[in-house]
Amino acid sequence: MIVTTLEEFFKMGPGPSSSHTMGPMRITRDFYRRVEALPDEVLARATGLRVEVLGSLSATGQGHGTGRAALAGLLGRNPADCEPEFLDGIAAHPERVYDVRIGPAAIPVSMKDIVWGEMLGNFPHPNTMRVRLLGGDATLLEMEYYSVGGGFIEWKGYQASEKGTPAYPYSTMKELQAHVAASGLSLPAVMLANELAVSGKSEAEVRAHLDQVKRVMLQLVDGGLQAQGVLPGPIGLQSKAKALYANAMESDRWMDRSTSVLASFAMAAAEENARGRVIVTAPTAGAAGVMPAVVKGYQDYRPMSESAFHESFLAAAAIGYLCKHNATLAGAEGGCQAEIGVASAMAAAFIVQASGGNVRQVANAAESALEHHLGLTCDPVEGYVQVPCIERCAFGAIKAHAAACITMDVEEKRHRVDLDTCIAAMAMTGRDMNAKYKETSTGGLAALVQC
């Protein structure tokens, strides 16, 4: 049964990666809080903290800012309100030693305490971290964590926290569609009823969160359209969004203009993600350009009420939840189909909902967008979320638009593949995919492109 909430799903935090930046920061922040809860007599013996980074996190963590994010979490910082400048400061002064003061403890920590372990191995999850509180040679507290995608974290022995029971329980799109048919409600209304029941929040709180999601997404696009220059890292990648947008606005060919505008919005947000700005996981940071492009497109070109935006976000969330629950959102587990593919499916659902489509059309558009990302590998060059990730966000947004157009213009019953089957195919493809193509930067473009 799916009990994910909007606040868990649409999270705000620093880029460039939800599983490799935000997840590790949430992990070490969680450990920090556990240390805080220890008795004073244990804390008095504490002499150090150690973070071991394993698997895909070790393979691409340098380019994904995993180390600085993990250190920031150890210092008690939260992804949602940690300024990018703080993380930049850690990266700029890797030799600096910080004091973690908790109760009687003053524990020195630095980037040297983030240890890059084995990249390939038989770990419980491809994104595994072990965090220890040391007291001389003794270990006072140890936890094994997993960054499972989209900024979600779990740990050894993890039990999901108690939540309310959904008003309309479901695990598949088929069940969700049955609830819509039986209740006479729209898909967003069913999702909202579930959200209220599961989260215990008021409708006003839920809507306020969606307003914030929209605000951050728009800020991301607007920021990216203003910025220019070379993106951080060894690739020396020139940002393109600003120039692309300016050229699009001068074009008198409608097709070029609409495609280029949508692409420039997606790349603007993705370039901001590469700069480490605060993004919204939709569903991940690597895919952070796809949904914002579509949201910005509606904001600028097809104005609609705030409540219509909320409904469209709820439809998109339904698709993201199904993919998380029945497959994965982690590039390290499923390749890029799990990130850009899911983002594109969510964006297609957003467009169809915003265009007044019904639940079946939403499902079909999401299926179509996801289907045409099946098998997409994750091979970021130099381990940076730039090539192919930034342009891939543009293609994800464009495919979402194509999927929505095709679905809205063709009779629903002619659609052959259902969304649940497509999500199952994504999960199967991810399991079969060679580890070289699952965020280890050891295959494909990452192996062949020289910087």
Q: Is the dihedral of CA 117, 121, 122, 124 positive or negative?
A: positive
Binding status of residue 188 toward ligand SF4 by CB under 6 A? no
Q: Tell me which of 14, 24, 320, 331 binds ligand SF4, using CB under 6 A.
A: 331
Residue window 422-451: x/- pattern of binding to ligand SF4, with contact defined by CB under 6 A: -----------------x------------
Interface region with ligand SF4, contact rule CB under 6 A, candidates 132-140, 271-279, 306-314, 331-339: 331-339
Interface region with ligand SF4, contact rule CB under 6 A, candidates 73-81, 146-154, 295-303, 388-396: 388-396
**C-beta of 220: minimal distance to ligand SF4 in Å?**
15
Binding status of residue 389 toward ligand SF4 by CB under 6 A? yes
Binding status of residue 380 toward ligand SF4 by CB under 6 A? yes
CB 443 within 8 A of CB 437: yes
Q: Does residue 13 sit in helix, strand or coil?
A: strand
Q: Choose between 297 and 331: whose C-beta lies nearer to ligand SF4.
A: 331
Q: Tell me which of 67, 126, 283, 388 binds ligand SF4, using CB under 6 A.
A: 388
Spatial distance between the Cα atoms of 89 and 54, rounded to a whole number of angstroms: 24
**C-beta of 280: minimal distance to ligand SF4 in Å?**
15
Other Cβ atoms closer than 10 A to 272: 30
> For residue 174, which of 387, 359, 38, 12 has the smallest C-alpha distance?
359
Residue 93, φ and ψ in degrees, nearest 5:
-130, 70
Sequence-separated (6 or more) residues with CB below 8 Å from residue 86 = 72, 77
CB 385 within 8 A of CB 15: yes
Q: Tell me which of 144, 272, 339, 420 binds ligand SF4, using CB under 6 A.
A: 339
**C-beta of 219: minimal distance to ligand SF4 in Å?**
20
Q: Choose between 224 and 286: whose C-beta lies nearer to ligand SF4.
A: 286
Binding status of residue 289 toward ligand SF4 by CB under 6 A? no
Interface region with ligand SF4, contact rule CB under 6 A, candidates 170-178, 290-298, 336-344, 406-414: 336-344
**C-beta of 141: minimal distance to ligand SF4 in Å?**
32
Instruction: Report residue 407 CA to chain centroid gap.
Output: 26
119, 275, 421 from 390: Cα distances, Å: 25, 11, 28
Q: Choose between 273 and 361: whose C-beta lies nearer to ligand SF4.
A: 273
Spatial distance between the Cα atoms of 191 and 279, rounded to a whole number of angstroms: 23
Q: Does residue 229 sit in helix, strand or coil?
A: coil
Q: Tell me which of 286, 289, 292, 357 binds ligand SF4, using CB under 6 A.
A: 286
Q: Choose between 79 and 444: whose C-beta lies nearer to ligand SF4.
A: 444
Q: Does residue 287 sit in helix, strand or coil?
A: coil
Spatial distance between the Cα atoms of 411 and 428, rounded to a whole number of angstroms: 29
Q: In this structure, which amino acid lies at residue 123?
A: F
Q: Choose between 308 and 445: whose C-beta lies nearer to ligand SF4.
A: 445
Tokens of 187: 């898909």
Q: Which residues bind ligand SF4 (CB under 6 A)?
A: 286-287, 331, 336, 339-340, 378, 380, 385, 388-389, 392, 439
